[in-house]
Structure 1
Amino acid sequence: MDESNLPLSIRKPLNKVIGWIEAVLLISITLATIAAIAEEFHLIYQVGYVALSDILLLFIYLEILAMVHQYASHGKLPVRYPIYIAVIAIARYIILGMKEMDSTQLIILSIAIFILTASTTVMRIGHFYWPYNKMSDEK
């Protein structure tokens, strides 16, 4: 990838500011997710039982934390993490509203899950057979 056209005197401070903004946002997302997890456990405790929709919601929170960890550790966010969250969210939506849904809605949501999981499978296979080339530092 080509070097930026910005002068070094602008690029360095700009990168530093953006890095701090990313750090603050990652910490904020982590704290908000932990608060949501605590609230969900509190609601489960109040109700007195754990429903499947509660478990799926906790999995969504877990995937959000995994995304934050992945980004904080490697500075990159694989596309598949948001896809996992979308699949779990659609499954939770189906479970919560199954009684009110007609068959067409259920089929459309099932097709959406299939497309998302198929795309993840294709990406994983693609990364296995055609991995990204590491960028060399030589010019």
Structure 2
Amino acid sequence: MLLRRAEAMRLKVHTAAESLGNLFVETFHYLSLFAIGAITAWAGLVAFLGMVEKGNVTVDDILLLFIYLELGAMVGIYFKTNHMPVRFLIYVAITALTRLLISDVSHHHRPDMGVVYISGAILLLAVAILVVRYASSRFPAVSAESRHRLPRDNEAETLE
């Protein structure tokens, strides 16, 4: 009897501590996401205003705006699903490398091994996206609900 009450009390303390910890972690995540979203929007706006002030737009500028768009989409997806889309990080990397490649070729006008290296890195990241997509479809992740479920009342009775 005493052991059963002690176990029930332990489960209540565990549940309360887990709920409080989840509250703090989720609060931090949401505040961080708001900050990241606001900074991304601000950076995109500053880049856009710089293009307007400059009076012309280059492919580099457009790709930079795509990077900001992808970062904003990542924040939005995390808000909706509570999962960080790794593929979007890879998309950002591919866009950044493409921007670097276009800038390098347009400014230096000479193909060298740097172009091959950057192209190889883009190819490697594209293969990584295929691997991540295959792995996520073949081995789906555990849902957040099953990870953070609260213990049921009858679980305390079965533990002795």
Report what 1:34 is aligned to: 41
- What displacement does 1:48 show? 0.7
Task: Please say if 1:132 is aligned against 2:132.
Answer: no
TM-score, length-normalised on structure 1?
Answer: 0.84
Between the two structures, name the one with larger relative contact order (CA 8 Å, sep ≥ 6): 2
Report what 2:8 is aligned to: none
Q: What letter is aligned with 2:132?
A: M
Q: What letter is aligned with 2:46?
A: E
- What displacement does 1:22 show? 0.6
CA separation of 1:29 and 1:109: change in aligned 2, threshold 3 A: same
Q: Look up the SS of the partner of 1:7 in the other structure.
A: helix
Larger Rg: 2
Equivalent residue for 1:120, pick from 129, 133, 141: 129
- What displacement does 1:78 show? 2.2
- What displacement does 1:118 show? 1.2
Comparing 93-102 with 15-24, greater Cα deviation is found at 93-102
- What displacement does 1:21 show? 0.7
Percent of aligned positions that are identical: 28
CA separation of 1:133 and 1:69: change in aligned 2, threshold 3 A: closer
Task: Give the structure with the higher percent helix.
Answer: 2
CA separation of 1:73 and 1:29: change in aligned 2, threshold 3 A: same
CA separation of 1:134 and 1:16: change in aligned 2, threshold 3 A: closer
- What displacement does 1:117 show? 0.5
Unaligned runs of 5+ in 1: 1-5
Comparing 54-63 with 100-109, greater Cα deviation is found at 100-109
Unaligned runs of 5+ in 2: 1-12, 147-154, 156-160
For residues 111 and 46 of structure 1, what CA distance do their matches in structure 2 show?
35
